Each structure stands twice: as C-alpha cells, then as structure tokens.
Amino acid sequence: MDFLDLIAHPIRLRIMHAMGGGRLLTTTQLCARIPEASQATVYRHIDLLVGNGILEVAKEQKVRGAVQRHYGLRQDRAVVGAEMVRSLTPEDHRQAFATAMTALLAEFNTYLDREQADPVADQVGYRQHALWLSPAELDQLIAELRAAIAPRLANKPTPERAQYLLSPIHFPVEASQQKAEQPTTGADQEPSA
C-alpha cells in the first residue's frame, strides 16, 4: 500500500487527527472518538498504521491481566512531502480532497452529537471567504498562516486545552486573467485558411 492510499482513508485520517499534539491513546479511547465505526474496524486501521510506521506503541501496561497499549503518532512519518504533492494527478487530488472532507464531516457530526456540544461557546467556525490575491500575496498569506499555526502544533494536551481541528483550504476559483490571456501554442490553434 502506498503512503497516499494509507493515509487517504477517513477512519485512518481521524485516528491521526486524534493523536495530534503528542497524544497517547488506547484503542478503546480511539473507538470512543470514532463511534460510528465498529471496534473491529478501528483495530484493523490501527494495525495498518502501526504496520506502516505511522503509529507506534508508546507504552504498554497491564490492566486486569491484559496488556493495554498506548499508541503515539510518528509525526516524521505522517507528512505528505512537497515531492509527493507534485507527483499527484488531478484524480489523486480529487480522492484526497474527498477523503479529507469525509473525515472533516464525520468529525463535525461527532462533535455535534455530544450532549455538551455548544458551537457558540466553542467558537466553532466554518466560514468561507473569496479573496483576490496575486501569487505573491498568496505566498505571504500561506506564510502568515504557517507562522500562526506551526508553534501551536507542539502544544501538548492539558486539562485547560480542548483539541480543535483546523482545516485551511485554499484553491483558485477561476483562472487568473494573466493565465487566461496567454497565447496558445500552434498545436492548440485552429489551422488558418
């Protein structure tokens, strides 16, 4: 199984989200985070992630005669690098985006299904903004977002912290005028009479 196929699955993606911030979780805790999946399904996906080096057994302890494993995410192995992104086909992008949206929708539904869910108090947001940006302005915006987000990725779970799922998404809605006005090559032009 290649790396993209491994991580581009809604259940495995949700397991990886749950493990963020250096969190160590048991299969029982992960099953509670993904209530719509059977225990056997969650176990199978954990085994795949462990077998492929994305998760690791961080500690084991005896509980009522059985060994309870706490898993951790290997951040160094759970990254889609620039080289891989460049190699993706449009169909790969469609599939990865659909998987990400499926996982996001499942996470949001799980949140709303909690008795104590309070979107106003929890400052839930899902706004979309259409921005006009030059390539340089887009580069600057991405750099500013990374600068704001990156230090917080190292935050560890504490009693006063809640885990939030942040999903920045950006893509051009239409071709830029500059790209649209570029002359076509001879192969694309109609033959002259």
Q: What tens digit of pLDDT does each residue of 104-154 get? A: 998 999 999 999 999 999 999 999 999 999 999 999 999 999 999 999 988
Question: Which residue type is seen at 27?
Answer: T
Is the pTM for the entire model greater than 0.85? no
Half-sphere exposure of 78 (CA within 13 A, CB side): 20
What pLDDT is attached to residue 183? 53
Q: Which helix (H) or strand (E) holds 103?
A: helix 90-113
- Per this entry, what is the length of the chain? 193
Residue 182: is its pLDDT beyond 50?
yes
Q: Compute the distance between CA of residue 30 and CA of residue 39 in angstroms, rounded to an integer.
A: 9
What pLDDT is attached to residue 154? 86
Share of the chain above pLDDT 70, in %: 91
What pLDDT is attached to residue 65? 86
Token readout for 162 is 């809640």
Average pLDDT over residues 6-13: 91
